[in-house]
Amino acid sequence: MAINLLPTDLSPKGPVIKLAKSLKNIAIAGFVVFIISLVSLIVFLLFISTNLSSSTARQEQLKTSIKSLEQTEQRLVMVKDRLKYTKQVLGKANAADDLEQLKALLLSLPESASVSQVDIAKDKVELTMLVTDSSGVSQSLATLMAAGLYEKIILLSFGFNPNTGYFINLELSN
């Protein structure tokens, strides 16, 4: 029969051994998880680094290709720059914009009316007409009104000369 010579108070108690074993197991499991995580992290880093270096290589290739197209880029930039200015200019009011309609209008005036002076600016037209008879005056004004080309028709002056007839000075604007 074996006899335990060790004092019973020196040997660790059962629950303590159990706890120690559990802690040891937890530590080992933790190390396993840690190593797996570390390996995953390294693999992930390697994956990102590989992607990064291949992206950098592709970038360099693209840069070389773009460099070879530099002249095209210069021209494209210039075209866009010129178009910006073109848009700016074409956006402005031009005194020649309504010339076609004005021409049609002036040519449709009655025969007794003749245009002696037309001052065309960007925002208004000043028109001086000579009309030989009074019916021509009403016809001319009716033609101007009917054309609907101008929102405002202001009569600046109206006169009569027995030798030449009526003269009408109008300001037409929108």
Partner 1 sequence: MAIIKKSGKSLVPRNIEVMVIPFVLITVLIILSILVAKIGISKVNSQREKLAVAQKDETIFKQKQEILQEVQGEVLSLADLSASAVPNKNPALAVISQLKNLASSRSVVLSNLQVGSKSGTEKGMSKVDISFDVDGDFSSVLDFLQDTSKIAPISQIEKIEINQAVGVTRANTTLVSFWAPFPKKLPPLTEPAKDLSVEELSLIRSLSELTPPAFLEMTPSAPSAREDPFTF
Task: Tell me which of 36, 39, 43, 48 binds partner 1, using CB under 8 A.
Answer: 48
Instruction: Tell whether residue 39 is a contact of partner 1 (CB under 8 A).
Output: no
- Return d(Cα 109, Cα 142) in angstroms, integer: 9
Nearer to partner 1, 36 or 146 (CB): 36
Looking only at residues 59 through 98 of this chain, which bind partner 1 when binding is defined by CB under 8 A? 59, 62-63, 65-66, 69-70, 72-83, 85-90, 92, 94-97
Phi/psi region, residue 148 (left: phi>0; alpha: psi -120 to 50; beta: rest), is: left
DSSP state of 174: -
> What is the x/- site pattern for partner 1, positions 134-153, by CB under 8 A?
--------------------
Short-list 157, 98, 166, CA closest to 106:
98
Cβ atoms within 10 Å of 137's Cβ, excluding its own: 21
Task: Tell me which of 36, 43, 44, 142 binds partner 1, using CB under 8 A.
Answer: 44
- Say which residues have a Cβ less than 8 Å from residue 99's Cβ, sequence separation at least 6: 120
Looking only at residues 101 through 140 of this chain, which bind partner 1 when binding is defined by CB under 8 A? 102-103, 106-107, 114-122
